[in-house]
Structure 1
Amino acid sequence: MFENLDAGGATHKYKAIKKVAGEYTISELCKLFRVSRSGYYAYLKRQQTDRDKPVKELIQAVYKKYDGKYGYRQTQLFLLQDHGVWVNHKKVLRLMQEMRLRSRIRRKYRSHNVLSAGRRIAENVLQREFKADAPNKKWVTDVTQYRVADTWLYLSAIKDLFNNEIVAYHMGVRNDNQLVLRTFQKALEKTKDVTGLIVHSDQGFQYTSHAYHDMLPKVGAQISMSRRGNCYDNASMESFFSHLKTEGLYPYDIRSMDEAQRRIDEYIQFYNQSRPQRKLNKLTPEQFRHQLSA
């Protein structure tokens, strides 16, 4: 079985050892073939590196395309979406570690809720059930802010929990009731029938206003609110704002309000149309919605 043990050089011997490695110990085989165990394991490592080279090149392409913003789990989804290649997440993690590719650190969320007495409060109907079995059954909404030089830009957005799509948003330099009301006007213009819809928010002053509480019941929607000071009750919306800022704003040196608004427009389009999500069976929000009607 082991004739001509010295023929073919070290690489030939390593190949022979690998073929019968399950029948004998590596130490016995290396002694028989007169090669070192360290040399054999170095050969295995080189083989593994060669096999991983095509995947590493794809990972590098994804990392570069998305400006190094993503960790191994989102990179795994982009490999499937952009290149049609499904790689085990543990392997993606290992290869990114070998290549020293790290995602940018996400800034922690800090609550900026403005609470005051005498406002109209609703019970927490949503109860952290951040899933819906059809579109326009559960919306979550909130307002976030982003500083541009000495000015604050405020963004109001509505997210559908069926497919995590941003159904409407509105930006302005004033954080007032009109910012939120205009957002809902846009959403309701696109969605004619919202009877039975649950709309969940925190207890920010815009959502406790009389105008807000008068508007939604008129179209058949039910108001739901987080418990006072509990940001986790609206975690799904906070998650979107976190992605928006760390992926769409923080990586760039934004100097003007126009640029900030453009970046937000571009990111929301990207988020809805091009960013796959594990919770959506590796599809983008739009793909997941279209799948329902297919």
Structure 2
Amino acid sequence: MAAYVWTAQGWLYVAAVIDLFSRRVVGWSMSEQMTSQMVTDALIMAIWRRGRPDELLHHSDQGSQYTSEPFQRLMADHGITCSMSRSGNVWDNAAMESFFSSLKTERIKRKTYRTRKHARADVFDYIERFYNPKRRHSTIG
């Protein structure tokens, strides 16, 4: 899944991969364009950070970035099972929707970023200095 962050320079897109067990963002990437490379980079970071368990399921929507050949090849090369939401079903991806909702309401909602660089730094700060190490998650106490 991805979020859109408005800046005075235009949109900044944020892709993330969440470990449902720990609720940590284990992979993320940001770009000026919504591309398959951006979501591929987020998954590569997640694989690098978490290692390669025996069984891994990656769930996403049916966006063209996730159905792209490079992204699908990366999953196949790492033995990752692909799972995609049914068209129009927002509940299939509730954990990601919850993360992006938290990002928007807790950090970017009332901010105006002058540059994409400022937005990148703030999103990084939110993920790595607040969300992962400090934020409490009701599902895991």
Flag whether TM exceeds 0.5 (same fold): yes
Contact kept in structure 1, 2:58 and 2:82, CA below 8 Å:
yes
Question: Which residue among 72, 81, 93 is the counterpart of 1:213?
Answer: 72
Contact kept in structure 1, 2:8 and 2:112, CA below 8 Å:
no
| 1:184 equivalenced with 2:43 (yes/no) | yes
Question: Which residue among 59, 64, 85 is the counterpart of 1:226?
Answer: 85
Give the share of equivalent positions with the same residue, in percent.
Answer: 36
Distance across 1 between alignment mates of 2:77 and 2:137: 34
Contact kept in structure 1, 2:6 and 2:113, CA below 8 Å:
no
Deviations 1:168-219 (CA, angstroms, capped at 9, x unpaired): 1010101111111111111112233233101000000011112222211221
What root-mean-square deviation, in Å, do the aligned CA atoms of Structure 1 and Structure 2 show?
1.3
Distance across 2 between alignment mates of 1:220 and 1:145: 30
Q: How high is the TM-score relative to the length of structure 2?
A: 0.92
Q: Give 1:173's aligned residue.
A: 32
Counterparts of residues 80-91 of structure 1 (less than 5 Å): none
Distance across 2 between alignment mates of 1:229 and 1:246: 23
Contact kept in structure 1, 2:40 and 2:71, CA below 8 Å:
yes
| 1:279 equivalenced with 2:120 (yes/no) | no
Contact kept in structure 2, 1:157 and 1:169, CA below 8 Å:
yes
Flag structure 1 segments of 5+ consecutive residues without an equivalent. 1-141, 282-294
Matched residue type, 1:272: N
3-state secondary structure, aligned to 1:207: helix
Flag structure 2 segments of 5+ consecutive residues without an equivalent. none
List structure 1 segments (4+ residues) > 3 angstroms apart after TM superposition.
Answer: none
Matched residue type, 2:137: Q
Q: How high is the TM-score relative to the length of structure 1?
A: 0.46
Contact kept in structure 1, 2:13 and 2:31, CA below 8 Å:
yes
Distance across 2 between alignment mates of 1:174 and 1:218: 25
Higher strand share: 2
Return the index of the structure with the highest Cα Rg: 1
- Quick one: higher RCO (CA 8 Å, sep 6+), 1 or 2? 2
